[in-house]
Structure 1
Amino acid sequence: MSDDRIGQRAAELLPEEQAAGSADPRAQAEAILEESDEREHDPNAAPDSFLERRHSEQTVDPGETTR
């Protein structure tokens, strides 16, 4: 993980992340990015979340309706 990526994420903490407060925003950003990278590489890493990946041919046409 690059220092630039960590620095950018630390500078752009979400409002709820800022509200939680941190004595070290860079360390907070690094932890957020590590968890994000882990979830990206292993969708089952976050058991309470669901990541759905579809290809364009698996989507519904805008004119179709589902029931």
Structure 2
Amino acid sequence: MFVSGSRPRAASALISMIPSFPGRCEPPHATDLLELGSCMFDNRSNWTGGILERLEAGEYRMPD
């Protein structure tokens, strides 16, 4: 079951990699790309969690 507000492991792993990459002022801006990837995982996880909660609550009609 989805835990609302929890961060996916992939997103946390990306954030944890930031200290080993160059700063924002140095090319290739890897830090910004890791943050962007982390946000995408967070958003998809939140969206999926919402769908799961609505399914479990019976908000969608399913054929028998």
- TM-score computed with the length of structure 1 as normaliser: 0.35
By relative contact order (CA 8 Å, sep 6+), the higher-ranking structure is 2
Say which structure is richer in helix: 2
- TM-score computed with the length of structure 2 as normaliser: 0.36
